[in-house]
Structure 1
């Protein structure tokens, strides 16, 4: 659907120049929910604005179905954008907001009415069609903004952190709603967020960005389970990092010697032996009694967060390690701060990351 090749965007000149995008290349597929994920200032919104036509790249090309998008003005592109602020007209009704863009395009009134009716059904807002947007909730306003953007049937819908203003529960509901809308319409969605849970929940594929470049592209499971580098492992979810050395590999597994001197099996990795970091997710480890685990240490914090309990362990080698355990109704947490414990995890759960 969209081919982005070697796109660079530089602001300023000389010593004060800032490169917001650094030779970004990515292919976005037809009917895909594709997410640009990364911290503030990583370039994800700039890339979205390049696609929309609001920012001209310094170098590179952007094509949509083999047509050069950079030669087209924003209003000529088969692309619509839903912004973080919904920019609805407060004096208009829900239906009038949805139909506004179609009227500006000169569509026949019958077609506008039919499309508005279809969009109201799609976003489940038909009962509120005649209410002004200043009189509805934030979540309902978000649905209206989506319906207005979808009404002209764009080939691509760009979404710039549209859920950030919603409360936690409503944001969770709208994550599923967005995925439903994308599936039902068959329109390619390109979604920008810094929220990893949003990216993992909704996306077919995720591009993790940092410092103006894409660090890894893959399915949510690939990104989470097989991060390509330390930044990705650290940004996506919680991760424990254990310094060590790659001492052997046989194609089916790698052998890692940790700083404590313990040798353990890890997932196979390409490349020479030498210093590495072993990444282990907190939910892939468990606590054991003193002397029973791979890694001995002392329990420094026990944090109850409802669904899980997080156990913070100060390992004897000076590394901090967190174990996450799902809570069972009626079962009290037996471990206490200051207790000597061991940490263990199954062979192969650790991801080897090159230093």
Structure 2
């Protein structure tokens, strides 16, 4: 028996406008999201991630294709008939109501019995750790506390799927990091499927079970954070997720041949021909010039980040790269600008990309 997914999009297309002025926001997107999964739609502005979220929520209808929730075709169902809730960028709380009243509001609108509303509201207040603030108006709360109220209100009716449209974007950096942990905790404790939209790669990597990287209305790659980061399948994905060095090379007989004739054996098979190689800065290290298998490079400058430094270099063919190395505990600096050094990396760090 085939698995019933929490959410599926099958060949979903969404056009805005008609005729020559039509804009295709989603281009034949298919994705299956598992039950109980923290799934992230990641990509730059205008890539289609929010449009896909709105199709799942029912705020927009697909031009063609199908949206299924728990195996049921909901493409034509209005939002209030779907077993989903949404948390938006603006939390849309009622400032004149208390924390408890905001959480209870949705349950009351659904006509739930008063004892159930009271019990569920108390449960949600405890879940988001606002026990001491249940009687406080939301206008008196911090941004992080307001976000917790919005989450509690969305979770209170026990939706099968919770949709989150960049809910952390309005928070400062420190609070955003704290709320990343809170979101993951809530998802694990409730077991509800979370579908999270963001353009922030760090949010996606730290919270997600799986990530779909989107661009131009299409999904380019789906995988775990480790798969997406360590094994990107395209230059766009490699460039969008973290820092990456791109180096031209020629593959021949299972080896990558770089400028200057340096040959490096490939860990995975790749057809012969001209390719783009991606190597993460943290997988490279500086070695003495002339070491076997090392690329020759000239040091430009280094940027100190405390825990590590980013050394900017230029290869023989003019390609600019960055090597990330840990800072020395004695505070010693790295190589001086203008120095010629070697750059080495293990074969497993080499990713041959589809352009």
Q: Residue 196 of structure 2 corresponds to which residue in structure 1?
A: 191
Task: Tell me, in whole angstroms, the C-alpha distance in 2 between the residues paired with 1:244 and 1:151.
Answer: 55
CA contact (8 A) 1:256 1:264 kept: yes
The aligned length equals 349
Q: Residue 279 of structure 2 corresponds to which residue in structure 1?
A: 280
CA contact (8 A) 2:259 2:316 kept: no
Q: How does 1:60-71 map to 2 (within 5 A)?
A: 60-71=65-76
Offset, 1:66: 1.6
TM-score (norm 1): 0.96
Task: Tell me, in whole angstroms, the C-alpha distance in 1 between the residues paired with 2:336 and 2:63.
Answer: 57
Task: Tell me, in whole angstroms, the C-alpha distance in 2 between the residues paired with 1:256 and 1:15.
Answer: 46
State the Cα deviation string for residues 274-303 of structure 1 (Å, max 9, x = none).
Answer: 111110000000112333371112111200
Task: Tell me, in whole angstroms, the C-alpha distance in 1 between the residues paired with 2:309 and 2:64.
Answer: 49
Q: Residue 49 of structure 2 corresponds to which residue in structure 1?
A: 44
Q: Secondary structure at the match of 2:253?
A: strand
* Alignment partner of 1:300 is 2:305: no
* Alignment partner of 1:180 is 2:185: yes
Q: How does 1:1-355 map to 2 (within 5 A)?
A: 1-249=6-254, 255-270=255-270, 272-292=271-291, 294-355=294-355
Offset, 1:64: 1.1
Q: Residue 252 of structure 1 corresponds to which residue in structure 2?
A: none
Please, which runs of 5 or more residues in structure 2 have no aligned partner?
A: 1-5
CA contact (8 A) 1:269 1:352 kept: no
State the Cα deviation string for residues 95-125 of structure 1 (Å, max 9, x = none).
Answer: 1111110111111111111111100110001
Q: Secondary structure at the match of 1:71?
A: coil
Farther off after superposition, 212-221 or 341-350: 341-350
Farther off after superposition, 29-38 or 261-270: 261-270
Q: Secondary structure at the match of 2:169?
A: coil
Q: Secondary structure at the match of 2:75?
A: helix
Offset, 1:326: 2.2
Please, which runs of 5 or more residues in structure 1 have no aligned partner?
A: 250-254
Task: Tell me, in whole angstroms, the C-alpha distance in 2 between the residues paired with 1:184 and 1:261.
Answer: 55
Q: Residue 3 of structure 2 corresponds to which residue in structure 1?
A: none
Offset, 1:138: 0.4
CA contact (8 A) 2:98 2:136 kept: yes
Q: Secondary structure at the match of 2:170?
A: coil
Q: Secondary structure at the match of 1:70?
A: coil
Task: Tell me, in whole angstroms, the C-alpha distance in 1 between the residues paired with 2:334 and 2:50.
Answer: 46
